[in-house]
Structure 1
Amino acid sequence: MKEKIKHYIKEIALFLIVMTIFANIISLYKSSDLNKNPLTLTNISLITGEKYALSQDKPTLIHIWAIWCPTCKVEASNIQTLSEHYNVLTIAVKSGSNDDIQSWLKESEYTFNVVNDSSGFIASNFQVGVYPTTLIYDKDKNLIFSDVGYTSTIGLVLRMWWAGL
């Protein structure tokens, strides 16, 4: 019986390792099409009506997501955690009105900054085709990391830490 349990644990561990490698390869492939230009967002209006200014001396995480995206919903708690400690701006793509997005945020108890990209124009400027997409820029607004799909909180924290060096 113990041998069977050990065998199953090894099989599960191997499966998780292979899936992680596979997911990272897909993310790398999907990230290759993203706009690699320096971050130049200006005149940013949040769904709350407030103006948002990018920090000039800190790294910035741009998270492009949608309410209708199941992976985005799972990853939203990771983005919330990061937004409490880092410069984070999220862009909700084709997710309804500002009120729709605010209702979803309130229901989920999220408070991160959100821009409503109702037409998908901003996402297309970043050349995003898959959601969620996360872009991390250094303090000089140069893209240094990009992820397509789910990313863990620890993965995002480590990338933001690296971006701040």
Structure 2
Amino acid sequence: MAPSSSTDSKAKPSRVVRFLKEAGLMLLLLIAVTTGLDLWRSQSMPQGSVPILVAQSTKGEEIDLIARSHEKPVMVYFWGTWCSVCRFVSPTINWLDGDYDVVSIAVNSGDSRRVNGYLDHHGYGFTTINDSHGVLMKQWGISAVPSIFIIKDGQVSSVTTGFSTPPGLWLRMQLAS
């Protein structure tokens, strides 16, 4: 058996180091791009005070978003049954609904019966307002779903669009508390 050369053992650590550096740079680039996209998409969305929202949920409950946000932070989740990214974000929203106040707004997703059927089929328990014609979406200046707002005392404390991770959304709610 031939002894291993010292160049082989030195080459492996340098490959690992190079891989880690490249992975780190790719991660930083990904964070920069997604942050930039988030800022660009949210430029027309409310900053500061939120539009007045008093509406009825798909189950008949009256929702006064500003009043609710004075008690504790409220997560407002704009989504659609037709939205592919929402299929990945909605389970996180449902998980957070166990500990936080969540109000979701189903955009262009049909009548309330259809929206409730979708929610029941997927086991989602979050409170939902049906925006069947996209009126609320326009009022809030939203151009893409999913869009998620954290509201505290009637003010926007955080906004994000697109895919969001469970730890990221949880942290946003913690910071608003």
Work out whether the TM-score is over 0.5. yes
Shift of 1:109: 1.2
Match of 2:35 among 24, 30, 34: 24
User: Matches of residues 63-74 of structure 1 in structure 2 within 5 Å?
Assistant: 63-74=77-88
Matched with 1:91 is: 105
Tell me which amino acid in the other structure corresponds to 2:47: K
Q: Which amino acid aligns with 1:68?
A: W
Larger radius of gyration: 2
C-alpha distance in 1 between matches for 2:80 and 2:28: 28
Question: 1:25, 1:86 → 2: CA distance?
Answer: 28
Identity, in percent, stands at 27
| 2:133 matched residue in structure 1 | 119
Q: What is the identity, as a one-letter code, of the residue corresponding to 1:45?
A: Q
TM-score, normalisation: structure 2: 0.82
2:163 match: 150
- SS in structure 2 at match of 1:70: coil
Q: CA deviation at 1:33?
A: 1.0
Which amino acid is 1:62 matched to? V
CA distance in 2, matches of 1:107, 1:163: 31
Q: Which moved more, 1:14-23 or 1:56-65?
A: 14-23
Tell me if 1:136 matches 2:150. Answer: yes
Q: Is the 8 A contact 1:61 1:136 kept in 2?
A: yes
Matched, 1:160 2:176: no
| Equivalent residue letter for 1:105 | L
Which residue identity lines up with residue 84 of structure 2 in the other structure?
Answer: P
Displaced runs of 4+ in structure 1, greater than 4 A? 1-5, 7-13
RMSD after superposition: 2.0
**TM-score relative to the length of structure 1:** 0.87
Q: How many residues align?
A: 162
Q: Which runs of 5+ in 2 are unaligned?
A: 1-10
Alignment check: 8 A CA contact 2:78 2:105 kept: yes
